[in-house]
Amino acid sequence: MRAIDLHAHTNYSDGSDPPSEVVRLAASRGAIALAITDHDTVDGLEEARRAAELCGIELINGIEISADYSPGTMHILGYFIDDRSPTLRLELMRLRQSRERRNPEIARRLRELGFDISYEEVVELAGNQVVGRPHFARLMVEKGYARSIKEAFDRFLKKGAAAYVEKERLRPAQAIELIRGAGGVAVLAHPYQLGLSFEEAERLMAELARAGLDGVEALYSRHSPEERSAYAEMASRLGLLVTGGSDYHGSYKPDIDIVRGLGDLSVPYELLEGLRRRAEQR
């Protein structure tokens, strides 16, 4: 099967590997197309494009945007976006500023909890790119405050934990509009993270579809086989496309391999054709 991966992070956000490395790795796993979907930034796409040309793999311009949603998490993926769109770039800059207001507050809370963590160290570890909670988690592991990134999240950094700080987010409809406005197609990422029952999730997807959502990431590393088929069936009932990806973050999510996910992921190339047709209709 001609495999693809439509969800991967680089060190321009909270992945550990540079874009060229992520591209090479995807090619070495047999992928013929890859989307780079960093949080709140398109700055890694240029390096990825050059590497993809060398590897002979198709590179899809992507982005992942956090939307305002509670009690779970809602992320919207964008594909085939014009990464030079001034509106997109301006809005991403604003979102990063909101992040940069949140981040020092996380460091402050961690210090209050008794940890020797300065925000400067976190920035340095992130390599001055978009700083995310996984960078805090990594530093906590390096300093012996947690045994794993997952433990750092569970004990301190996840939503509702002691060092969790909200950041300003777009409303779901705004995130969708931002992506479509930049010529892209909008896809609901990893729906299991909404924390909803299947019935509730389908109602929400119907609402998002009315706001312009194009697809649902049913094939996802951490989705069970039941979740993969349930979300794919919802998508088809609602006239939405099905997509899939690993959410590769390198060493920040060490159990997730690019293209293969936890070992059982395989996203067929045909799904990309559907997305492309939608994008071409924009």
Taking CB under 6 A as the rule, does residue 14 contact ligand AMP? yes
Taking CB under 6 A as the rule, does residue 44 contact ligand AMP? no
User: CA 81, CA 100: separation in Å to the nearest integer?
Assistant: 24
Tokens coding 186: 């909008």
Taking CB under 5 A as the rule, does residue 40 contact Fe ion? no
Residue 182 burial by Cβ neighbours in a 10 Å radius (0-12, 13-18, 19+): buried
Pick the closer one to Fe ion by CB: 72 or 127: 72
Indicate which of ligand AMP, Fe ion, Zn ion, none lies near residue 158 (CB less than 5 to 8 Å, by partner kind): ligand AMP
Pick the closer one to Zn ion by CB: 14 or 227: 14
Taking CB under 5 A as the rule, does residue 17 contact Zn ion? no
Q: Report CA Rg, the chain.
A: 18
Pick the closer one to Fe ion by CB: 80 or 192: 192
User: CA 36, CA 8: separation in Å to the nearest integer?
Assistant: 5
**For Fe ion, which stretch binds (CB under 5 A), given 24-32, 160-168, 180-188, 239-247?**
239-247
Among 202, 247, 272, 279, binds Fe ion (CB under 5 A): 247
CA angle 41, 248, 197 (to 5 degrees): 95
Taking CB under 6 A as the rule, does residue 134 contact ligand AMP? yes
Helices (DSSP H) in the chain: which residue ranges? Answer: 19-28, 45-55, 86-112, 119-126, 133-142, 149-152, 172-181, 198-210, 225-238, 270-281
Residue 44 · residue 12 · CB < 8 Å: yes
Residue 62 · residue 78 · CB < 8 Å: yes
| # residues near Fe ion by CB under 5 A | 4
β pairing state of 185-188 and 31-36: unpaired
Residues forming a β-bridge with 39 = 64
Taking CB under 5 A as the rule, does residue 14 contact Zn ion? yes
Pick the closer one to Fe ion by CB: 145 or 217: 217
User: CA 80, CA 73: separation in Å to the nearest integer?
Assistant: 23
Kindly write out the interface string for residues 229-268 of this chain, putting x where it contacts ligand AMP by CB under 6 A and - elsewhere.
--------------------x-------------------
Contacts of 128 (CB under 8 A, 6+ apart): none
3-state class of 187 per DSSP? strand
Pick the closer one to Zn ion by CB: 174 or 193: 193
**For ligand AMP, which stretch binds (CB under 6 A), given 23-31, 89-97, 126-134, 222-230?**
126-134
**For ligand AMP, which stretch binds (CB under 6 A), given 55-63, 111-119, 127-135, 212-220?**
127-135
Number of CB atoms found within 10 A of residue 37's CB: 30
Residues at the contact surface with Zn ion, assessed by CB under 5 A: 9, 14
Residues at the contact surface with Fe ion, assessed by CB under 5 A: 64, 75, 189, 247
Residues at the contact surface with ligand AMP, assessed by CB under 6 A: 14, 39, 66, 132-134, 150, 153, 158, 249
